[in-house]
Amino acid sequence: MYTYETLLAAITVEGGREVHNPATGELIGRVPTHTAADVDAAIDRAEAAQPAWAALSDEERVGYMNKIADAIEANAEALAELLSREQGKPLNGPNARFEVGGCVAWTRVPAGTPLPVEVVVDDGETYAEMHYRPLGVVGAITPWNWPMMIAIWQIIPSLRMGNTVVSKPSEYTTLSGLALNHILNTVLPAGVLETVAGAGDLGARLVESDKIAKIMFTGSTRTGKKIIEASSGNVKRLTLELGGNDAGIVLDDVDPKAIAEGLFWGAFINTGQTCAALKRLYVPDSIYDEVVNELAAFAAQMPMGQGLDEQNVLGPLQNEMQFNVVDRLVESAKASGARVVMGGNPDRDATGYFYPTTLIADIDPANELVTEEQFGPALPIIRYSDLDEAIRMANELEVGLGGSVWSSDRDRARAVAARVQAGTVWINSHGTINPFVPFGGAKQSGYGQEFGVAGLKAVAQPQVIQG
């Protein structure tokens, strides 16, 4: 079992690129910067290990998955502390310890999900079965907002289905990716999980390689489009979870106080740095002020600060780039005359990338803070008088990862949800994912599904055997 110090020592390198805590600026450690040749060598090792891994029975691979879950659990506190220091998220609340716990859940559930051979036709004349075979080597490209849990979403189903994996953590959270994969590799045979560390050019190398059968990518729509273009040469399989700008629609029959906590965490989980967070909220005239006031009252109770302080539940933005995006969009909203209910006043000279919890009311629906993904702790609240118009505004953007409807009448909420163009629409919550429930985007928020049986099938080659 590792402590934070021994885990850090196992993954850091002398003379490597410096990694700093986004809350304090302190140096945490140093990480390697791999080359294109390093990527090619990692791919070769994964390719060489894949036949023996695929030759194991499903039960044997499931056994490895359960040992991985045990290993993550045994090292959970060390992983959570490293994650908090590098990513910035607090230990408590739905943050670092929560994320490491999610790694365990998203390991045990795919391991325990049966995927039997499917008999698709058996009518006395024709007999056909559907099997799911390994693809080969999967390239897993992971973002910086949930760097451990999203890596597990990519790695574990791929391994379960007999593939090997070359994993590339984000350059912003390389330590977190290295630490998690180090723990996995205390269990796995050599070559089954390889890790490469560096910038986006290494991800491009994975995409371009003819030896990579599939890419799993979570990140921006812009990068996703580049991956699609680069993969066309060898018709590489893709699962893409891309940018979102999720809309929440409040109906006029809710109790504003009752939904305030759900709205807050839907928007501000991980300090707003979540692809499927609530990023624009549409509220009817009749209860607009009540909803805004109740949400502000709840938000005011949520402490923000350094992640290792046990009382905090909100942390800094992970990097300066993202701080500048949020700052620019909020300033645009302020300049347009929108009302700042709380926040919107960062200390730009302070240490750490802290942006205060910000609520912006009475904002033009066409303002940049509404139409662009802020990916941070700033929520625009748009007033509406006609429900059809609210649905139209929710659907008018090119993205469609998630959405939500808030109502005391579930049937009415379901009817509205059916009209929202998103891969997942939640009722009276937002972003509450489940390892048994398929998850994926609509429109330019990507394609392919993760989680559950659908997620296992997505990292396998369907094969029909007929006769």
User: Which residues are tagged catalytic?
Assistant: 241, 275
- If DSSP codes are grouped into helix, strand and coil, which group holds residue 190? coil
Answer for the pair 179, 79: CB distance below 8 angstroms, yes or no: yes
Identity (one letter) of the amino acid at 116?
Answer: P
Identity (one letter) of the amino acid at 369?
Answer: L
Task: Tell which phi-psi region holds residue 25, choosing left (phi > 0), alpha (psi between -120 and 50) or beta.
Answer: left
Q: Computed over its alpha carbons, how large is the radius of gyration of the chain?
A: 23
Tokens in use for 209?
């390689």
Distance, CA of 256 to CA of 254 (rounded, Å): 6
Task: Tell which phi-psi region holds residue 385, choosing left (phi > 0), alpha (psi between -120 and 50) or beta.
Answer: alpha
DSSP calls for 344-390: ----TTSSS-----EEEES--TTSHHHHS---SSEEEEEEES-HHHH
Identity (one letter) of the amino acid at 224?
Answer: G
- Burial of residue 39 (CB within 10 Å: 0-12, 13-18, 19+) is buried
Answer for the pair 148, 87: CB distance below 8 angstroms, yes or no: no
- Helix (H), strand (E) at residue 284: strand 278-284
Distance, CA of 434 to CA of 236 (rounded, Å): 28
Answer for the pair 217, 202: CB distance below 8 angstroms, yes or no: no
Sheet with 127-134: strands ordered across: 118-122, 127-134, 460-466
- Burial of residue 74 (CB within 10 Å: 0-12, 13-18, 19+) is middle
Sheet with 214-218: strands ordered across: 193-195, 164-168, 137-141, 214-218, 237-241, 446-447
Q: Where are the alpha helices (DSSP H) in 161-277?
A: 174-185, 200-208, 221-231, 256-268
Distance, CA of 68 to CA of 299 (rounded, Å): 37
Distance, CA of 80 to CA of 82 (rounded, Å): 5
- Burial of residue 192 (CB within 10 Å: 0-12, 13-18, 19+) is buried
